[in-house]
């Protein structure tokens, strides 16, 4: 014979599931918060300075190997 569940038992079972789901979700959120807090609290390394070019660009220059390319490409 099958046992029929009354409405209050279903509500109680549902509330247990919701409670367990909330506990697991809350634990996960807490774990993530603790892990990110530890990472954020670590000192960050200083970014390396980007050297500025000391010579100005002279623009496009036709070098001997470029001249050879133009000559062989027929341009």
pLDDT tens figures, 9-56: 777 777 888 989 999 899 888 888 888 776 666 677 777 776 666 666
The answer to whether residue 32 is domain-embedded is: yes
State the pTM of this model: 0.36
The answer to whether residue 37 is domain-embedded is: yes
Q: Between residues 5 and 74, which one has the greater pLDDT?
A: 74
Q: How many domains would you assign to the chain? A: 1
Q: What is the pLDDT of residue 65?
A: 92
Residue 64 sits at φ, ψ, to 5 deg, of -55, -40
The answer to whether residue 4 is domain-embedded is: no
Q: What's the domain range around 33? A: 9-42
The answer to whether residue 58 is domain-embedded is: no
Q: What is the pLDDT of residue 51?
A: 67
CA distance 60 to 74: 20
């Amino acid at each position: 014979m099958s046992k029929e569940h009354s409405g209050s038992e279903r509500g109680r079972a549902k509330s247990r599931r919701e409670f367990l789901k909330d506990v697991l979700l809350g634990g996960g959120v807490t774990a993530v918060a603790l892990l990110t807090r530890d990472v954020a609290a670590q000192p960050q390394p200083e970014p390396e300075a980007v050297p500025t070019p000391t010579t100005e660009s002279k623009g496009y220059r036709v070098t001997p190997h470029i001249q050879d390319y133009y000559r062989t490409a027929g341009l």
